[in-house]
């Protein structure tokens, strides 16, 4: 048919190397250290389609070779990227890709360049005391998390495939099987890339990086009188939108260090993440976070703190030298950072209104925010499952809601006053109930990647059964519709799930 593009065989796929236009101290050229006896665990057909690959021609053994570092794509020039960052609030100059390699960029049929990044590819100059490997456990979680985020419509890195092997490494005193994830995203540039150049006083190269980012990711900024200023503004806006989506869906990132923040506003390097089953404002998903720095309720403030670190790096970019110019630059950047709260609140309120079936009405802003805040307090006090509650509102007529609440919470009566206020607010809408419920079902998922689901997939995989990974992939890519497979995942998490402990190696 006219206009269709013939799918590219994997062996013919060719990569480009645009990032290497920058000075070579931005990276180190490294060849991957291939895993022994690689085997394909899973392939994400949605990602394959974006890349213009035909699943019917993808042979598992061939994909395992490319996805494990045993074989390189045409024209691939693997590099480990250098960056720094603030980790748990302290600046660390000794960072970089310690276990991942940027293989190159692929031009998809949609005209978008996407990075291919192989995680678990072996040691680099930035591995420090690490072995450069990723284990199957953490790789399964990252692979499924990318699919889950994409299914919800939250900007995220994804992965084409997950590959296991017979190699093992020691984690927490025990041998674990190694794995690799072939990560795919338009951008692997982090806040930490800018921090590396700023804190090492490489201001000319900071300008080069800024221009590279503008040319590739923010081309409209080039038309501005002050392109770097417009660039930081748009990064702030995207970051505010991203964290608003995390808060609306109960996602706990776990390690919001600046080196884990993407300059295009994607969920990136989330480590010991979790989607909360029942709401807990103080939820911490990383047992190494002893100070609760990255607790759920603190994520918007931490995102702003991270943006402050990034904005500091833009001081030399937004104006020239001199005390007055520096003062002006500081004032401009402080103004942009002050706008974060407004961006965040507007995006968050809009998302929560969608989940509750409410229209955007500036006259209702204060009342709607109070309604939402009170709901979260109720959900926390009653330890009610977030996903089940919002889905109940999306599927159940008003007259049946109180009765059905008894099936998902022990104190259904506690919600009665809130439900009365909610339905009084709905009267303002004067909307068609059936259409409203249909719209709500498109934003309130039936399935989330609950911790216990990932844990079950991991335990089966360690017994040689990879089937659960692929079954979950089906649910997570399409979380708003019921699936006949794995119907048990429609319900609440089992009691044992609360005992799952996560660390940075998770």
**Among 209, 223, 189, which residue's Cα sits nearest to residue 314?**
209
Structure tokens at 26: 């931005």
Token pair belonging to 320: 């020239």
Angle between helices 398-405 and 386-395 (to 10 degrees): 150
Per the residue annotation, which of 259, 269, 277, 368 is the catalytic one?
Answer: 259
Token reading at 27: 């990276």
Structure token pair of residue 460: 């089966």
Structure token pair of residue 190: 């982090």
CA atoms within 13 A on the CB side of 500: 24
For the record, the structure tokens of 403 come out as 């009765």
Secondary structure letter of residue 117 according to DSSP? E
φ, ψ of residue 286 to 5 degrees: the values are -115, 115
8 A C-beta contact, residue 257 and residue 305:
no
Q: How far is it, in rounded angstroms, from Cα 216 to Cα 209?
A: 11
Structure tokens at 8: 């590219």
Where residue 167 falls (left for φ over 0; alpha for ψ -120 to 50; beta otherwise) is: beta
Separation CA 62–CA 470 (nearest Å): 19
Q: Show me where the domains of the chain are located.
A: 10-188, 192-346, 360-430
In order along its 506 residues, the chain shows pLDDT tens digits of 444 566 778 888 999 999 999 998 899 999 999 999 999 999 999 999 999 998 888 899 999 999 999 999 999 999 999 999 999 999 999 999 999 999 999 999 999 999 999 999 999 999 988 999 999 999 999 999 999 999 999 999 999 999 999 999 999 889 999 999 999 999 999 999 999 999 999 999 999 999 999 999 999 999 999 999 999 999 999 999 999 999 999 999 999 999 999 999 999 998 899 999 999 999 999 988 999 999 999 999 999 999 999 999 999 999 866 667 778 889 999 999 999 999 999 999 999 999 999 987 777 888 999 999 999 999 999 999 999 999 999 999 999 999 999 999 989 999 999 999 999 999 988 888 999 999 999 999 999 999 999 999 999 999 999 999 999 999 999 999 999 878 889 989 888 887 777 766 54
Residue 388 CB neighbours (<10 A): 19
The pLDDT assigned to 2 comes to 43
| H or E element that contains 92 | strand 90-96
Is 385 among the catalytic positions?
no
Three-state secondary structure call for residue 297: helix
Q: Please, what is the end-to-end C-alpha distance for the chain in angstroms?
A: 46
Helix (H) or strand (E) holding 215: helix 203-217
**For residues 178 and 41, what is the distance between their CA atoms, to the nearest angstrom?**
12
Q: Closest Cα to residue 386, out of 497, 243, 249, 274?
A: 249
Of the candidates 110, 115, 113, the residue with the CA atom closest to the CA atom of residue 52: 110
Q: How far apart are CA 403 and CA 390, in angstroms?
A: 15
State which H helix or E strand residue 48 sits in: helix 45-50
Asked if 79 and 27 count as a contact pair (C-beta separation under 8 A), the reply is yes
Please tell me the chain's helix, strand, coil percentages from 3-state DSSP, rounded to the nearest 5: 50, 15, 35
- Our CA dihedral for 473, 474, 475, 480, rounded to 10 degrees, sits at 130
- Answer for the pair 204, 316: CB distance below 8 angstroms, yes or no: no
Rounded CA separation 210/198 (Å): 12
Question: Can you tell me the distance from the alpha carbon of 340 to that of 94, in angstroms, rounded to the nearest whole number?
Answer: 29
Distance, CA of 458 to CA of 323 (rounded, Å): 57
Q: What is the DSSP string of 393-447?
A: HHHS-HHHHHHHHTTT-S-GGGGHHHHHHHHHHHHHHT--HHHHHHHHHTTS-S-
DSSP, collapsed to helix, strand or coil, labels residue 184 as: strand
In angstroms, what CA-CA distances link 153 with 42, 123, 256, 264, 450?
Answer: 21, 34, 20, 15, 17
DSSP string, 93-114: EEEE-SSEEEEEEEE-TTS-EE
Q: What DSSP character marks residue 315?
A: H
503 φ/ψ angles, rounded to the nearest 5 degrees: -135, 180
């Amino acid at each position: 048919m006219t206009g269709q593009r013939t799918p590219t065989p994997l062996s013919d796929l060719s990569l480009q190397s645009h990032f290497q236009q920058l000075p070579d101290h931005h990276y180190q050229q490294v060849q991957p250290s291939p895993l022994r006896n690689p085997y394909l665990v899973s392939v994400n057909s949605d990602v394959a389609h974006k890349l213009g690959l035909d699943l019917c021609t993808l042979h598992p053994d061939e994909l395992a070779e490319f996805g494990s570092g045993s074989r390189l794509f045409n024209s691939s020039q693997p590099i480990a990227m250098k960056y720094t960052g603030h980790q748990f609030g302290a600046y660390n100059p000794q960072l970089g890709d310690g276990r991942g390699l940027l293989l190159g960029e692929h031009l998809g049929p949609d005209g978008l360049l996407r990075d291919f990044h192989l995680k678990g590819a072996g040691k680099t100059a930035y591995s420090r005391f690490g072995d450069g490997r990723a284990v199957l456990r953490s790789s399964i979680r990252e692979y499924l998390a990318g699919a889950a985020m994409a299914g919800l419509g939250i900007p995220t890195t994804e992965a084409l495939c997950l590959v296991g092997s017979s190699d093992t490494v020691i984690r927490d005193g025990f041998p674990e099987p190694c794995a690799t994830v072939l990560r795919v995203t338009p951008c692997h540039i982090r806040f930490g890339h800018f921090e590396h150049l700023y804190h090492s006083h490489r201001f000319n190269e900071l300008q080069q990086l800024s221009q590279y980012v503008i040319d590739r990711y923010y081309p409209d900024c080039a038309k501005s009188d002050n392109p770097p200023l417009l660039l930081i503004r748009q990064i702030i806006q995207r970051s505010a939108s991203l964290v608003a989506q995390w808060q609306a869906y109960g996602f706990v990132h776990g390690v919001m260090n600046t080196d884990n923040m993407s300059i295009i506003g994607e969920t990136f390097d989330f480590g010991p993440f979790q989607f909360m089953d029942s709401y807990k404002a103080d939820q911490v998903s990383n047992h190494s976070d002893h100070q609760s720095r990255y607790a759920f309720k603190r994520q918007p403030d931490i995102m702003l703190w991270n943006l402050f670190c990034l904005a500091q790096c833009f001081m030399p970019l937004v104006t020239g030298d001199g005390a007055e110019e520096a003062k002006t630059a500081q004032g401009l950047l402080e103004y942009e950072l002050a706008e974060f709260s407004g961006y965040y609140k507007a995006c968050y309120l809009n998302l929560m209104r969608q989940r509750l079936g409410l229209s955007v009405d500036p006259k209702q802003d204060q009342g709607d925010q109070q309604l939402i805040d009170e709901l979260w307090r109720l959900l926390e006090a009653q330890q009610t499952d977030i996903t089940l509650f919002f889905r109940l509102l999306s599927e159940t007529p008003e007259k049946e809601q109180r009765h059905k609440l008894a099936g998902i919470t022990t104190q259904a009566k506690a919600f009665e006053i809130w439900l009365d206020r909610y339905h009084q607010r709905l009267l303002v809408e004067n909307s068609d109930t059936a259409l409203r419920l249909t719209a709500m079902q498109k934003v309130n998922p039936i399935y989330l990647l609950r911790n216990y689901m990932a844990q079950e997939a991991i335990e089966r995989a360690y017994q040689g059964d990879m089937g659960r990974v692929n079954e979950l992939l089906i649910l997570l890519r399409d979380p708003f519709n019921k699936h006949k497979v794995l119907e048990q995942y429609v319900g609440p998490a089992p009691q044992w799930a609360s005992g799952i402990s996560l660390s940075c190696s998770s």
